[in-house]
Amino acid sequence: MEEEDGRAQYTPVCDVPTHVLKFGRIEHNRGQVLILIIPGNPGIIGYYQRFMEVLYRCGDERVPVWGLSHAGHVTTPNTGQYLESDFYTLEGQIKHKLSFVEENVPGDVKLVLVGHSIGCYIILKMLEKLDSHRVLRCFLLFPTIERMAASPKGQVSVPLLKYFRWLSILLSYLASYFSPHVQYRMILWYFQGRPVAECAYNASMNLFDPFCVRNIMNMANEEMKEVTELNTKLVSDYMSKLSFYYGLEDSWCPRDYYHGMKEQFPHADIQLCEKGLEHAFVLEGNDDMAGIVWSWLQKDLHKVTD
C-alpha cells in the first residue's frame, strides 16, 4: 500500500526506532533530488510538518521532502521499554543521521540538507563523512554553529542545564500521569493567543515523556560544552555548498555572529532575515521560511535538471 504523505513512520536507525516524516517518494530517475530536514533541539520532526508540507508544495510535489527526529526525542509506539543508546548524545546524533542516509537514500540521489539550529552543526559534521558529490546544497537556518554558551540565550541556559535540568525531567515525569486530554489542554494554554501551526501542538505531546525530556536536556547541555569556536576550516572547505540564514533578533546566534561570518567569508552566501522570523520559526513562520528556502534552491535544481 502506498504511504500517505506526512504520515508518521517509525524506522529503525542504528536500532533506535526513529520518527520519520515523508512528503513524496524517491523515484529512480536521472536527476532525482531529496530535501532532507535535520531538526534543532528538541529534535521532534513533527514541529516541522507544516514547513515540510509547504516546501513540498512549492516544488509542485516533484521534489520529495523528508525529515527525521533525533534519536530518543520522540515517544515511539509499541516499543515495550526504552533502551539506552550511545546515539542519544550529540556525537551519536551525527552518526544517527549518517546511518539514515546510508540505509534509506540511494547513492545516485542528490541531497539538499536543510538544518535548523543545532541541526546546522550536525550537517557540517555530516559533510566530513558524506561523499561530497552526493550533496547538492546545504541550507543552515538560524545556525547554532559557534559559541552557544556565550550567546545571550546560552548564558542563561548554561547554569539551568548544569544544575536544574533534573527539574524539567521531574516535571515531565509528574505530568506524564495526566491524561492525554489534560496534557493537550496544557499545550493549548501555553500557546494561547499565538497563531501557532497545528502540528506544533501534537509535537509538543512528546515533552510529557520523561525519557525524551531527559535526552533533550542532556543533549542541550552537551551543546553548550561542545559548540564553541567556529570550525572555520570546515566551513571554508564546503563553502560552495553552504547557505546561511541568520535572524534579525536571535538570542542563540545574535547579529554579531552574522557580521563575524560575513567578515570571515565575504563571498559566502550568508543572509540576514528581513521578515523578522523567530529562531523557532516552526511555530509561526513556516510558510515564509519554506518560500525563502525554495527560492534559494532554484539555481541548484536547474543545475541538476538542465
Any idea which residues carry the catalytic annotation? 117, 250, 279
CA–CA separation, 143 and 147 (whole Å): 11
Identify the CA nearest to 25 among candidates 64, 52, 67: 64
Retrieve residue 109's grid coordinates.
Answer: 540521489
Q: Is 50 exposed, middle or buried (0-12, 13-18, 19+ CB in 10 A)?
A: buried
Rg value, the chain, Cα: 19
Question: Which among 19, 28, 124 is positioned nearest to 67, based on CA atoms?
Answer: 19
For residue 219, give Cα distances in angstroms to 55, 99, 299.
28, 19, 36
